[in-house]
Amino acid sequence: MYFTAPQNHACAVDVRTGRALWHYERTLPKEMSLCCGPQNRGLAALGDRLFMGTLDAHVVALDAKTGPRALGCRRGGRGQGLQLHRARRSS
């Protein structure tokens, strides 16, 4: 099972044992200000990738089995005050 938590955390847990399989955290810039608090809107899944929109306007792709970041991109420039508040729709 996969879940997210505020401040850009994503985790995987084995539902049979309750054991944590992996944890990912994206470090936020220190100078960042949040307009609406530390929002959290979950993950989107496509194939063997999980996608997470971050509070600093990045989209991060995680390997569903191992967790480490597979790739990422920025959706806006620093200082623009952009944040991503929902899981992206995969199609």
Predicted pLDDT at 55: 77
pLDDT (tens digit per residue) in 31-59: 766 666 666 778 999 999 998 888 777 78
Given this structure, which CATH class describes domain 2-26+37-74?
mainly beta
- Decide if pLDDT at 63 tops 80: yes
* Calpha distance 58→90 (Å, rounded): 16
Strand partners, 69: 62
Q: In the structure, what pLDDT confidence band is assigned to residue 17 with cuts at 50, 70 and 90?
A: very high
Domain boundaries, the chain: 2-26+37-74
Instruction: Choose between 3 and 30: higher pLDDT.
Output: 3
* Calpha distance 30→16 (Å, rounded): 38
Predicted pLDDT at 69: 74
- Decide if pLDDT at 27 tops 50: yes
